[in-house]
């Protein structure tokens, strides 16, 4: 809590404040007549008039008139009696009691509310000079940053820093650091996946195209990379391709070593997207549809998918206020290879949701995806 030196300082300061009040109270003040100060001013004014007149700076008649006026004020001031008394003992005792009780109590009370007595000073220089014991994370980060500012080619430094940034919530810095790691040390599956994860965190949990690209690169380097596979599954789920997600995650569960630390998480994700008998918020093909589709020939399957897309199209034409629907439709057309219809769907969405900034952003993102792939 309160260190001894701090307590001593507080005690000294409080004593000073109390003394500032008690000291004048202890002395009997000899009152001056209140008119005396005024008279001094007038006497000086008369002296000044005489000097000015003698030096020729003031015409004699003006000087005389002014002197008469000052003299008149002087007489008035002399008439005023002093009404200032020595002071009563009772009032002094009250004032002294107030000083003794009120100053320390109010001071301490306010300090307890506003102060942080347990916190020592933390000047930057001494924090930087302290032995690195891992308690001051901000300083550890800063040390590495300072080192990197001097040695910008040290990829290992960035590799150390990036996960810390992510933990501290400095996601922009984390993404930048992972980018540096890959640029300086070269890409590995782990690094690409870590970059992708940082991008997802920055994007508040949504797997964007940039993140998906990073995960894809990770899988290109190491097809068994669990983190990349999991997130690509998540991307599929977020795109509305639940079956793809289920396939991916199902495969992961099947191939997983029994003690894989990520296994429970993937299982949970799998369970999330295949809840029996619960209608999902993004209506996809029903289990029956899928079972049927599996049993059909390539051509028939195409026709069935086409039919589903047409149904979606009809539904949206009837009730256009469904942004997710439009975006799903656009993606579907894109997957089916008809980018013209995909763009038309986005155009309809744009017209329907004109003036909605959030919708516009999502539509633009979808348009980019379609144009980019």
Partner 1 sequence: MIAEIGQYALILALVLALVQTVLPAWGARTGDATLMSVATPVAYILFLFVGSAFAALVALYLTSDFSVVNVVDNSHSRMPTIYKITSTWGNHEGSMLLWVLVLALFGALVALFGGNLPERLKANVLAVQGSIAVAFLLFILFTSNPFLRIVPPPAEGADLNPVLQDPGLAIHPPLLYLGYVGLSISFAFAMAALMEGRIDAAWARWVRPWTLAAWVFLTLGIAMGSYWAYYELGWGGWWFWDPVENASLMPWLSATALLHSAVVMEKRDALKVWTVLLAILSFSLSLIGTFLVRSGVLTSVHAFATDPARGVFILVILSVFVGGGLALFALRAGELKQGGLFAPVSREGALVLNNLFLTAATAAVFVGTLYPLALEAVTGDKITVGPPFFNLTFGGLMLPLVFAMPFGPLLAWKRGDLPGVAQRLMVAAGIAVVAAVVTAAAEDRGPVLAPVVLGIAVFVMLGALTDLAERAGVGRVSARVNLRRIVGLPRSAFGTALAHFGIGVCLIGIVCESSWSLEKIAAMRVGETITIGAHDLTLTRMENRTGPNFHARVAVFGIREGGVSQGEVVSGKRLFTARQMATTESGIRTFGFSQLYVAIGDETPDGQVSVRMTWKPLVTLIWLGTVVMAMGGLLSLADRRLRVGAPKPARRRVSPVPAE
Contacts (CB under 8 A) with partner 1, residues 138-177: 138-139, 141-142
Closer by beta carbon to partner 1, 86 or else 354 = 86
Q: Taking the CB of residue 124, how many other CB atoms lie within 10 A of it?
A: 9
Stretch that binds partner 1, among 53-61, 174-182, 268-276, 359-367 (CB under 8 A): 53-61
- Tracing tokens 């940039």 back to the chain, one arrives at 210
Half-sphere exposure of 187 (CA within 13 A, CB side): 15
Q: State in angstroms the smallest separation of the CB of 180 from partner 1.
A: 17
CA–CA distance, 206 with 208 (Å, rounded to integer): 6
Residues in contact with partner 1, total (CB under 8 A)? Answer: 77
Stretch that binds partner 1, among 18-26, 236-244, 296-304, 347-355 (CB under 8 A): 18-26
**65 touches 100 (CB < 8 A):** no
CA–CA distance, 140 with 145 (Å, rounded to integer): 9
The footprint of partner 1 on residues 272-331 (CB under 8 A) is: none
Closer by beta carbon to partner 1, 45 or else 216 = 45
Closer by beta carbon to partner 1, 85 or else 317 = 85
**158 touches 148 (CB < 8 A):** yes
Q: State in angstroms the smallest separation of the CB of 315 from partner 1.
A: 44
Closer by beta carbon to partner 1, 10 or else 262 = 10
Closer by beta carbon to partner 1, 122 or else 183 = 122
Provide long-range contacts, Cβ within 8 A and 24+ apart, for 30-33.
Answer: 30/86, 31/82, 31/84, 31/85, 31/86, 32/82, 32/84, 33/81, 33/82, 33/84
The footprint of partner 1 on residues 234-273 (CB under 8 A) is: none
CA–CA distance, 75 with 267 (Å, rounded to integer): 104
**78 touches 35 (CB < 8 A):** yes
The footprint of partner 1 on residues 54-113 (CB under 8 A) is: 55-57, 62, 65-66, 69, 73, 77, 83-88, 91-92, 95, 98-99, 102-103, 106-107, 110-111
From residue 32 to residue 51, the character string flagging contacts with partner 1 as x (rule: CB under 8 A) and all else as - is x-x-xxx-xxxxxx-xx---
Among the listed residues 84, 87, 88, the one whose alpha carbon sits nearest the alpha carbon of residue 36: 84
Q: State in angstroms the smallest separation of the CB of 357 from partner 1.
A: 23
Closer by beta carbon to partner 1, 92 or else 227 = 92
């Amino acid at each position: 809590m309160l260190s001894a030196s701090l307590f001593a300082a507080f005690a000294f300061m409080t004593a000073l404040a109390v003394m500032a009040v008690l000291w004048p109270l202890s002395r009997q003040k000899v009152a001056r007549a209140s008119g005396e100060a005024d008279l001094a001013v007038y006497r000086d004014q008369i002296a000044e008039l005489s000097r000015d007149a003698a030096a020729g700076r003031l015409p004699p008649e003006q000087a005389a008139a002014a002197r008469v006026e000052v003299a008149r004020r002087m007489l008035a001031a002399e008439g005023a009696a002093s009404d200032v008394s020595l002071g009563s003992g009772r009032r002094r005792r009250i004032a002294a009691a107030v000083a003794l009780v009120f100053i320390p109590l109010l001071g301490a009370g306010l300090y307890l509310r506003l102060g942080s007595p347990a916190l020592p000073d933390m000047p930057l220089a001494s924090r930087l000079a302290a032995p690195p014991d891992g308690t001051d994370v901000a300083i550890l980060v800063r040390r590495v940053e300072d080192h990197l500012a001097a040695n910008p080619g040290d990829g290992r430094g960035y590799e150390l820093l990036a996960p810390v940034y992510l933990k501290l919530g400095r996601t922009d810095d984390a993404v930048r650091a992972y980018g540096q790691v890959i640029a300086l040390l070269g890409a590995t599956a782990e690094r690409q996946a870590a970059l992708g994860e940082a991008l997802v965190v920055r994007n508040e949990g949504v797997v964007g195209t940039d993140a998906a690209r990073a995960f894809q690169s990770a899988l290109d380097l190491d097809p068994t990379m669990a983190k990349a596979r999991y997130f690509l599954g998540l991307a599929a789920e977020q795109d509305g391709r639940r079956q793809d997600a289920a396939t991916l995650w199902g495969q992961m569960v099947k191939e997983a070593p029994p003690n894989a630390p990520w296994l429970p998480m993937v299982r949970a994700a799998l369970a999330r997207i295949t809840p029996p008998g619960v209608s999902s918020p993004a209506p996809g093909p029903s289990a029956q549809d899928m079972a049927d589709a599996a049993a059909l020939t390539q051509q028939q399957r195409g026709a069935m998918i086409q039919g589903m897309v047409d149904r979606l199209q009809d539904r949206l034409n009837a009730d256009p206020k469904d942004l997710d629907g439009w975006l799903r439709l656009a993606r579907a057309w894109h997957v089916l290879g008809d980018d013209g219809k995909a763009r038309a769907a986005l155009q309809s969405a744009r017209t329907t949701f004109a003036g909605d900034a959030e919708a516009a952003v999502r539509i633009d993102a979808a348009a980019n995806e379609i144009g980019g792939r």
